[in-house]
Structure formats: structure tokens, C-alpha cells
């Protein structure tokens, strides 16, 4: 097996992931995270341009999983000459025995949020967890209209520059005031605004969905019930954080999110207990063409690397072929935000709208939510 020139196997480079073999997954857990420079080193040397398969494997507890509620499927994307890709379900085009571990850990599609599926996500055994039809259409429509009316502030994105956080705009607008607004503010005013607005914003989203349950509230309850450990909204400076922000992406700006793959990593100083970071995206309005979540199935950036990690200008060209997942209206997608990811550009008249919250995961497997 060699995806890297000179006959060097990726597994040889990655001792923590050695034991991983199809059909008896002992796939990397959080402790097997590699640092960013290793990731780049692997993938600048040689990549394979397809990721494909439909795999029935084992779940996180070693049980066989096949079709049904806990179906594990790999979807793949094929890059065509103009660099765009098509996502589709196919069968067994890759022999997973011959691929490095992370090519096998792709997309798990499920009908409901279960402890098994969440464990696969949190242990990095899969790349994306997709809960289909999480939100009824009429709730999507109500919230989409609400966000489009209210959400026009720019949602900047935190990147690192010379070891410092810098905020950049990639064409996403927002409803709600996110925690990252405080990262570059030394006056304390943004913190005050953040804490003051958190609960009223959550309540306004709840009210906009009423008399139905807002997807964020449903998620909070179901996560708490499904996950055996603590799982609730974070506290920051002794107060509840925001959980659930509206994201509104106008068509005309959608290219910006595509050309800049990014990762999301809250500074450890904000949440010293954080071990891993995930995100939950609830899709309310999605374009017919494009607007896919694109994610690179490489080991998530290591916590010790993150604060210093400057995204290379040509990150995309240094990464292997991506996985693209096209959410349908009403779907919920969860993934590790320390993996490079992007949103592909799209066309059409409507903005792409979603609700989103981050998920912090501690070494004790406890969960906290904020945005
Ligand atoms: O909108 C999406 O599909 C992904 C959003 C994103 O970048 C995130 O949740 O970290
Ligand atoms: Fe992100």
C-alpha cells in the first residue's frame, strides 16, 4: 500500500493509527491526533484523488453495523478538471484494505442522535455525522425567514497570524453575537455585549420557532439524553454562553468560503478544559447547486499546534482530495472543526441559511456548547 511516493506508506508515518483495519476498527482516538506540520508533510508529497466506498463496518463499541439506523456509509468526491467535485453514493470502488485509516473514516448517516454515533464522531472514527431530516420543513421555513430578516452583521472568522488571533470575513453573515468577537477586543466591551446578548438571542430563536421546538433546543435535550456524561451549554465568566447562532450566506459572496479552507479553534485560554472541538450545523435553506460542506479527512490539528498554526495561502493545494457532503434542508451535520473545511460556492436566488453551535469535548468526555 503506497499513496506516497518512494513506497512510503502513510501508516508507516502514523504509528498511532497502525492498528486500524477494516472490519475491526481500532481507529485513532483523540490521543492519536497528529500535529499540523505532519499533516501537511504527508499530503504535499502525494495524494490519491478519489475517496470512495460504501462500507458496512463496526461501530465504536465493536458491533457490526450495517444498513438501518446506524448505517455507516462512505461517500466520495471525485475532482474534475476545474477542481469542483461531485458527491455521490457508490459501491466499493476502493478496496479499503489498501487505504490509510483516515480514508475509511468518512460519513456516517443516521436517522437520530445516538450515543454510538456521537462516540464515533468524538473519537474521530468518522469525519462527518449526518442526522437526516432533523428539522421539519415548516420549522426550517419559519427560521429561514427570521434569519434573513434579522441577520446581516458580518460573521468574522478567527485565524492565527504571528501567534495572534485575527478575524477575517469569508462571506457569512450572522444573527447572534459570537464569542470570537471578544478575542481581539481589549476594552472588555465586547465581552459585556456577548454575555448580555447570549440568553436573549437564544430566547428569540426559540420564539421564532414557536409553537414548534427550535432545532437548537431539540439538540440540547437530545444530546443531554443520549450522551452518558455531562452535555450542556457552557459557562464563561460565570454566565451562560450563547448556544446557536444564525448563519446567512448570500450567493454573491459564496466563493469566499470555498477558496479559504479554514479550521475553528477557540483559544484554549477561553476554555482550558477543551480537548477537541466540533460543530453542529442545522440547515434551513440550501441551494440546489453547490453549498456543500467540504472537509479534508486528515488528522485534526493538535491542541499544541493550533495557537501557532498559520493557514498556508495554498492550503487547498497541499491537502488530499476532499470529502463533500451536500446537506438537504432539515439535515444536521456534525464534524471536527480542527480538520480543514470549507463550503463550496453556490448559485441561486436564496441565501444558504443555517443555525450553528460549537461543541467542546473534554478529556473526561464531557460536552459543552457555545458559539
Ligand atoms: O455551513 C457549513 O456547512 C459549515 C460551517 C462551518 O464552517 C462550521 O460549522 O465550522
Ligand atoms: Fe468552520
Q: Kindly report the backbone phi and psi dihedral angles of residue 100, in degrees, each rounded to the nearest multiple of 5, phi listed first.
A: -70, 165
The total of other beta-carbon atoms located within 10 Å of residue 174's CB is 21
> Is the shortest distance between the CB of 343 and ligand 1 below 6 Å?
yes
Cα–Cα distances (Å) from 262 to 48, 323, 343, in that order, read: 21, 15, 10
pLDDT of residue 59: 28
Which among 23, 30, 29, 88 is positioned nearest to 58, based on CA atoms? 23
Q: Annotate 10-58 with DSSP letters as a single string.
A: HHHH-GGGTT-BTTB-----GGG---HHHHHHHHHH---SB-------B
Which ligand 1 atom is the nearest neighbour of the CA of 249?
A: 1
For every one of its 371 residues, what pLDDT tens digit does the chain have, with 9 covering 90 and above? 222 122 222 222 222 332 222 222 222 222 223 322 222 222 222 222 223 222 222 222 222 222 222 323 333 333 332 222 333 333 333 344 555 555 555 899 999 999 999 999 999 999 999 999 999 999 999 999 999 999 878 888 777 777 777 777 888 899 999 999 998 888 999 999 999 999 999 999 999 999 999 999 999 999 999 999 999 999 999 999 999 999 999 998 899 889 989 999 999 999 999 999 999 999 999 999 999 999 999 989 988 888 888 888 889 999 998 999 999 999 999 999 999 999 999 999 999 999 999 999 999 999 999 99
Q: Which residues contact 345 (CB under 8 A, 6 or more apart)?
A: 254, 255, 257, 258, 290, 291
Residues 362 and 274: beta-carbon distance below 8 Å: yes
> Is the shortest distance between the CB of 277 and ligand 1 below 6 Å?
no
Query: Which numbered ligand comes closest to the C-alpha of 358?
Result: 1
Ligand 1 mutation target, pool 279, 291, 324, 330, most atoms within 8 A of CB: 279
Which among 354, 359, 210 is positioned nearest to 293, based on CA atoms? 354
pLDDT of residue 274: 96
Instruction: State in Å: Cα 18 to ligand 1 middle.
Output: 30
Provide the CB-side half-sphere exposure for 227 (13 A, CA): 22
Q: Which residues contact 258 (CB under 8 A, 6 or more apart)?
A: 294, 342, 343, 344, 345
pLDDT of residue 159: 76
Residues 155 and 181: beta-carbon distance below 8 Å: no
Ligand 1 mutation target, pool 343, 351, 352, most atoms within 8 A of CB: 343
Instruction: State in Å: Cα 245 to ligand 1 middle.
Output: 11
Q: How far apart are CA 138 and CA 154, in angstroms?
A: 27
Instruction: State in Å: Cα 284 to ligand 2 middle.
Output: 17
pLDDT of residue 183: 87
Kindly state the helix (H) or strand (E) to which residue 190 belongs, with its residue range: helix 189-209
Residues 223 and 113: beta-carbon distance below 8 Å: yes
Q: Which three cell numbers stand for residue 13?
A: 508515518
Residues 244 and 357: beta-carbon distance below 8 Å: yes
Which ligand 1 atom is the nearest neighbour of the CA of 281?
A: 9
> Is the shortest distance between the CB of 249 and ligand 1 below 6 Å?
no
Q: Kindly report the backbone phi and psi dihedral angles of residue 37, in degrees, each rounded to the nearest multiple of 5, phi listed first.
A: -65, -35
Instruction: State in Å: Cα 336 to ligand 2 middle.
Output: 9
Q: Which residues contact 358 (CB under 8 A, 6 or more apart)?
A: 264, 266, 277, 278, 279, 280, 337, 369, 370, 371
Handedness of CA 115, 119, 121, 122 (dihedral sign): positive
> Is the shortest distance between the CB of 337 and ligand 1 below 6 Å?
yes
> Is the shortest distance between the CB of 264 and ligand 1 below 6 Å?
yes
Residues 318 and 241: beta-carbon distance below 8 Å: no
Which ligand 1 atom is the nearest neighbour of the CA of 291?
A: 3
Q: How far apart are CA 93 and CA 102, in angstroms?
A: 16
Q: Which protein residue's CA is at the shortest distance from atom 8 of ligand 1?
A: 279
pTM of the model: 0.75
Q: Say whether 268 sits in a helix, a strand or coil.
A: coil
User: What residues are paired with 147 via a beta bridge?
Assistant: none
Q: Which three cell numbers stand for residue 335?
A: 464534524
> Is the shortest distance between the CB of 356 and ligand 1 below 6 Å?
yes
Q: How far apart are CA 321 and CA 93, in angstroms?
A: 15
Amino acid at each position: 500500500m503506497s499513496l506516497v511516493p518512494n513506497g512510503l506508506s502513510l501508516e508507516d508515518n502514523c504509528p498511532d493509527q497502525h492498528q486500524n483495519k477494516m472490519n475491526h476498527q481500532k481507529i485513532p482516538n483523540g490521543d492519536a491526533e497528529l500535529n499540523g506540520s505532519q499533516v501537511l508533510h504527508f499530503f504535499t508529497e502525494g495524494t490519491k484523488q478519489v475517496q470512495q466506498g460504501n462500507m458496512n463496518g463496526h461501530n465504536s463499541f465493536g458491533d457490526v453495523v450495517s444498513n438501518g439506523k446506524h448505517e455507516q456509509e462512505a461517500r466520495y468526491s471525485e475532482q474534475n478538471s476545474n477542481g469542483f467535485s461531485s458527491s455521490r453514493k457508490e459501491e466499493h470502488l476502493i478496496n479499503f484494505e489498501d487505504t490509510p485509516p483516515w480514508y475509511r473514516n468518512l460519513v456516517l448517516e443516521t436517522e437520530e442522535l445516538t450515543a454510538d454515533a456521537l462516540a464515533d464522531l468524538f473519537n474521530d472514527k468518522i469525519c462527518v455525522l449526518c442526522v437526516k431530516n432533523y428539522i421539519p420543513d415548516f420549522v426550517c421555513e419559519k427560521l429561514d425567514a427570521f434569519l434573513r430578516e434579522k441577520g446581516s452583521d458580518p460573521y468574522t472568522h478567527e485565524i492565527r497570524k504571528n501567534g495572534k488571533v485575527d478575524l477575517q470575513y469569508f462571506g457569512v453573515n450572522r444573527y447572534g453575537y459570537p464569542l470570537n468577537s471578544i478575542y481581539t477586543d481589549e476594552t472588555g466591551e465586547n465581552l459585556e455585549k456577548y454575555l448580555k446578548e447570549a440568553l436573549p438571542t437564544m430566547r428569540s430563536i426559540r420564539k421564532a420557532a414557536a409553537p414548534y421546538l427550535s432545532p437548537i433546543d431539540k439538540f440540547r435535550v437530545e444530546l443531554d439524553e443520549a450522551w452518558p456524561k455531562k452535555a450542556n451549554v457552557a459557562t464563561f465568566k460565570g454566565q451562560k454562553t450563547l448556544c446557536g447562532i444564525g448563519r446567512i450566506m448570500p450567493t454573491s459572496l459564496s466563493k469566499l468560503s470555498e477558496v479559504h479552507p479554514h479550521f475553528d479553534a477557540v483559544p484554549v485560554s477561553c476554555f482550558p478544559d477543551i480537548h477537541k472541538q466540533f460543530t453542529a450545523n442545522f440547515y434551513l435553506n440550501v441551494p440546489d447547486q453547490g453549498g456543500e460542506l467540504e472537509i479534508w479527512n486528515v488528522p485534526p490539528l493538535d491542541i499544541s499546534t493550533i495557537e501557532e498554526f498559520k493557514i498556508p495561502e495554498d492550503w487547498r493545494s497541499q491537502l488530499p482530495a476532499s470529502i463533500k457532503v451536500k446537506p438537504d434542508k432539515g439535515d444536521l451535520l456534525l464534524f471536527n472543526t480542527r480538520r480543514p473545511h470549507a463550503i463550496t460556492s453556490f448559485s441561486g436566488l436564496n441565501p444558504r441559511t443555517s443555525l450553528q453551535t460549537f461543541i467542546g469535548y473534554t478529556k473526561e468526555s464531557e460536552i459543552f456548547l457555545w458559539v
